[in-house]
Amino acid sequence: MGKITKYLNQLTVGNVFDSPEIIEKYSADQSALRVKPKFVAFPESTDDIRKLLKFFNQLASKDIKVAVTARGTGLGEGGAALTNGVVISTEKLNHLLEIDSRERLVRVQSGITLHELNTALSVSGLTIPIDGCNERTIGGLISENFKGQCSKKYGGLYAYVERIEVVLTNGECLQTERLKKYALAKRAAEKTTEGEIYRKTVKLVKENSDLIDKLSKNNKDQSGYPMLAQAPRRETMDLMPLFFGAEGTLGIISEVILRAVPIKKRPERVVATFKEVEDALNYAKAIEPLKPRKLDLFDLKIIMEARESGKNLDGVIKKLEDGFVVFANFDERPATCIKKIKAMRDKFSHSARFIYESVNDRPTLNEFENALENYLGYVKNGERVPILTNFYLPNENISNFLQDLTILEKKLNLKVELYGSIGSSIYNLRPKFNLEDKEFNKRATMFLRAGAFIINRQGGKLAGGTPEGRLKAVVTNTEMLEPEKKMYTKLKEIFDSNDILSPDIKLGTSSKFTLTHFRSENRTSVVV
Ligand SMILES: Cc1cc2nc3c(=O)[nH]c(=O)nc-3n(C[C@H](O)[C@H](O)[C@H](O)COP(=O)(O)OP(=O)(O)OC[C@H]3O[C@@H](n4cnc5c(N)ncnc54)[C@H](O)[C@@H]3O)c2cc1C
């Protein structure tokens, strides 16, 4: 154990490690990248985080810079939870601190997962209605500005967070709240770190009001600090929105207060299969007024591959080889919704097939959902590494996008299938790569750049679903205009003047570093 590790272990109640096994484990997240940290810390309290940040910030003041990166479950797909410095894991900070059932408010530590939180809330008949991210932490979800498949109906996580507590780089804590004009002026006049942050943020927002206005109209892009426009509101200011999508670059979130909602009934589902994508999209458009909780689209080939996991999906696939599947679920008057879809049946293609929620078809629908969740949520042997995931694509351009995709498939000799959420217009492409291939870096880079090109061409945004992290930043940093870059750089400086919090993600990304840090699995041994 090195000297610094020993010192940090004396300094904090939680443990700090530098052993090869732990370093190896925290070198990867769900992304296509691998970066080795020097230390991994497991704080047991907010006080531990404060001491760790203060220590590394003081080192940076003496020109010894060690990057500090917060980490939740490590399920981010953009490599933002990776660092060659110190990882501060929130694994041990997973406690529910208070529930006020009457006000529907809950206070938690940032390392609690959504599943743990919703399980605890369910006892009071409450929930946080976001889907598809059960194992991820609330701190990670805020930092990625998580929206999820049911965001069209329920909004993203932002809609449910009231306040957060953040540890700043100098070890002080900031508790966010919306400050009215008088309180804001008073706070900004204080000669404290917090006062300085308010003062400088108010000034930055004023100086860039036109740009912020313009950016808020194109709210499809999550790069930079995507919720900045929500911070000022009619002479008031709340710093909380700045942390949504900040990917841990402004401070480490330690506690969160959320407002829950009553649990809805168990949703009822409809799976419809179409030969042509246009028919699938027309159907989706027709049922959108019924306000489905989820409305997802899958290339049928993905379902055929998911079948290999052993689940019986024949009920959905039947004899089809090509086509598209639309999955919808309804949590409001579901029986009426299903009746209405049945009544509309003649409007849709005759070759379409429907499976409705019923006692007989429930097992098929369950297997369909489980198989897909397992298949898509799991990077099988590392081969389906996420490179182009969670991008925005206007639904009306999907057909054109698929034509471009066919050309890209031929050019790169890859099989690429589209899937995602029609409800939120966020889609994914996750082709199989051979990680042992010496050409993997080159092929993955080409796929990232060419894919980003066709996404743009069809009016999409590469960082539309999740912020740019380390991987998407390779493309988004070249696209972002100078005034926007300047504004975000200034904002980062306000919170982190020594630039220790994940300095090499977002605008600090080096394309060369990222593109040479693709995972290599067994390739290292092949090269050796
Ligand atoms: C299968 C799959 C599907 C997904 N689908 C969607 C989707 O539909 N929509 C969407 O928006 N996203 C989606 N994501 C991405 C998702 O938003 C992230 O995976 C998730 O937010 C990460 O949570 P985590 O706890 O694993 O965080 P990590 O991966 O550990 O960290 C993610 C980022 O948050 C920072 N961070 C973590 N904790 C803190 C903290 N306490 N304080 C400050 N910073 C912190 C990290 O530094 C890092 O930058 C998907 C991911 C997967 C694997």
Give the model confidence (pLDDT) of 20-76 as tens digits: 999 999 999 999 899 999 999 999 999 999 999 999 999 999 999 999 999 999 999
pLDDT value, residue 525: 33
Ligand 1: centre distance to CA 73 (Å): 8
Q: Residue 507 corresponds to which amino acid?
A: L
Question: Scanning the structure block, which residue is given the tokens 């750089």?
Answer: 489
Q: What is the DSSP letter of 484?
A: H
For 343, residues 6+ apart whose C-beta sits below 8 A from its C-beta are: none
106: which strand partners?
99, 258
Ligand 1: centre distance to CA 348 (Å): 38
Ligand 1: centre distance to CA 343 (Å): 41
pLDDT value, residue 378: 66
Q: How far is CA 267 from the centre of its chain?
A: 24
Q: Find out whether the beta carbon of 468 lies less than 6 Å from any atom of ligand 1.
A: no
What would the mean pLDDT of 149-163 be, rounded to a whole number?
A: 94
131 close to 264: Cβ distance less than 8 angstroms: no
Distances (CA, A) of 438 to 42, 113, 400, 474, 513: 36, 37, 33, 21, 18
Mutation to probe ligand 1, out of 133, 135, 145, 161 (largest number of atoms < 8 A from CB): 133
Element (H, E) at 250: none
The string over 199-229, giving b where at least 16 C-beta atoms fall within 10 Å of a residue's C-beta and e elsewhere, is: bbbbebbeebeebbeebeeeebbbbbbbbbb
Atom of ligand 1 nearest to the CA of 149: 8
Q: Is the pLDDT of residue 380 over 70?
A: no
Q: Is the pLDDT of residue 1 over 80?
A: no
Of 292, 294, 296, nearest to 398 by C-alpha is 296
Q: Find out whether the beta carbon of 467 lies less than 6 Å from any atom of ligand 1.
A: no
pLDDT value, residue 453: 97
Element (H, E) at 330: strand 324-330
Lowest-pLDDT choice from 1-15, 26-40, 317-331, 378-392:
378-392
Residue 5 banded pLDDT, cuts 50, 70, 90? very high
CA dist 270 and 293 (Å) reads 12
pLDDT value, residue 527: 30
Ligand 1: centre distance to CA 411 (Å): 32
Q: What angle do CA 143, 8, 111 make, to 5 degrees?
A: 25
Select the more confidently predicted residue: 375 or 37.
Answer: 37
What would the mean pLDDT of 407-435 be, rounded to a whole number?
A: 93
pLDDT value, residue 434: 83
Q: Find out whether the beta carbon of 151 lies less than 6 Å from any atom of ligand 1.
A: no
Average pLDDT taken over every residue of the chain:
93
CA dist 304 and 109 (Å) reads 40
pLDDT value, residue 381: 53
Select the more confidently predicted residue: 438 or 463.
Answer: 463
Q: Find out whether the beta carbon of 74 lies less than 6 Å from any atom of ligand 1.
A: yes
469 close to 179: Cβ distance less than 8 angstroms: no
260 close to 123: Cβ distance less than 8 angstroms: no
Ligand 1: centre distance to CA 136 (Å): 7
pTM, whole model, 2 decimals? 0.95
CA dist 389 and 150 (Å) reads 17
Q: What is the DSSP letter of 108?
A: E
Q: In the numeric block, which tokens belong to residue 528? A: 């050796």
Of 25, 30, 28, nearest to 377 by C-alpha is 30
pLDDT value, residue 314: 77
Q: Is the pLDDT of residue 520 over 80?
A: no
List pLDDT tens digits, range 285-298: 999 999 999 999 99
Q: Is the pLDDT of residue 315 over 80?
A: no
β pairing state of 268-274 and 236-237: unpaired
Residue 384 banded pLDDT, cuts 50, 70, 90? confident
pLDDT value, residue 54: 98
List pLDDT tens digits, range 466-479: 999 999 999 999 99
Of 445, 432, 337, nearest to 379 by C-alpha is 432
What would the mean pLDDT of 500-514 be, rounded to a whole number?
A: 96
pLDDT value, residue 526: 31
Of 21, 28, 7, nearest to 519 by C-alpha is 28
197 close to 233: Cβ distance less than 8 angstroms: no
151 close to 141: Cβ distance less than 8 angstroms: no
pLDDT value, residue 279: 96
pLDDT value, residue 473: 98
List pLDDT tens digits, range 391-417: 999 999 999 999 999 999 999 999 999
Element (H, E) at 502: none
Q: Find out whether the beta carbon of 116 lies less than 6 Å from any atom of ligand 1.
A: no
Distances (CA, A) of 52 to 110, 270, 408: 17, 50, 47
For 447, residues 6+ apart whose C-beta sits below 8 A from its C-beta are: 387, 388, 412, 414, 431
Question: Scanning the structure block, which residue is given the tokens 């397992």?
Answer: 374
List pLDDT tens digits, range 58-67: 999 999 999 9
pLDDT value, residue 205: 97
β pairing state of 236-237 and 261-262: unpaired
Sign of the torsion angle spanned by Cα atoms 422, 426, 431, 434: negative
Residue 244 banded pLDDT, cuts 50, 70, 90? very high
Of 240, 31, 30, 41, nearest to 142 by C-alpha is 240
CA dist 253 and 247 (Å) reads 10
